[in-house]
Amino acid sequence: MSKQIWKPGALLSPLPPILVTCGTMEQPNVLTVAWTGIINTQPAMTYISVRPERYSYPMIRSSGEFVLNLTTANLVRAADYCGVRTGAKTNKFNDCKITPAPASTVCAPILQESPMNLECKVTQIIELGSHHMFLAEIQAIQVDESLLDEKGALNLQRANLAAYAHGSYFELGKKIGTFGYSVKKKKKRTK
Ligand SMILES: Cc1cc2nc3c(=O)[nH]c(=O)nc-3n(C[C@H](O)[C@H](O)[C@H](O)COP(=O)(O)O)c2cc1C
């Protein structure tokens, strides 16, 4: 490999193009966020980095609540739309024919059409620069039962999740390994 040295940039890929719902059931909004991730296991914690000029920003800041809704391939068009139109000017739920529904632990709504919804409460706000980072504890997760196998285990492959990489959306493809498979002992053949 022959490498060039580039100036710093936000080029980490792939990222999840998450549909973030905020506000209340009466006055909901939804925006797309790719600057997000898991930052702690116990307690389960996440973050979203949001520009203060977003319409959603004061809603999240004042309520201290939001929901991360995983984006499936079927929801990618909505995720793109919710990332280029503002709730200040239009009702993105009506425009995309998507539905806010009650969360179990927060006043912010979940997105009904997303099969997995992570309900979050903000614990800290870090003003980084262009974006302010909302650190949050995940309070509860709603999972569509169609993602569970007969033993009740989560089978996330069934969700057809989307990824975002350098300006393009992708549908996750074939499984190429599982956690720890690189060190797993191969089963001896009996014959
Ligand atoms: C794929 C994608 C990822 C985005 N990621 C972020 C992000 O991480 N943080 C952010 O502040 N805006 C992000 N945006 C832009 C906002 O979603 C966009 O400005 C949106 O219109 C804000 O909606 P609102 O004004 O209703 O809050 C992203 C947009 C797209 C399409």
pLDDT, residue 125, reads 98
Lowest mean pLDDT among 98-112, 156-170, 174-188: 174-188
pLDDT at residue 188 tops 90: no
**42 vs 184: CA distance, rounded Å:** 26
Is residue 17's pLDDT more than 90? Answer: yes
Ligand 1 pocket member 87 (CB < 6 A): yes
For ligand 1, is residue 49 a contact (CB within 6 Å)? yes
Q: Is the CB of 14 under 6 A from ligand 1?
A: no
The model's pLDDT over 68-126, given as tens digits with 9 standing for 90+, comes to: 999 999 999 999 999 999 999 999 999 999 999 999 999 999 999 999 999 999 999 99
- Judge contact between 53 and 142, C-beta under 8 A: no
User: Which of 15, 32, 131 most suits a substitution to test ligand 1, by most atoms within 8 Å of the C-beta?
Assistant: 32
- What is the average pLDDT across 36-42? 98
User: Is the CB–ligand 1 distance for residue 16 below 6 Å?
Assistant: no
Kindly report the pTM of this predicted structure: 0.97
Share of the chain above pLDDT 90, in %: 96
Q: Phi and psi for 40 in degrees, rounded to 5?
A: -160, 150
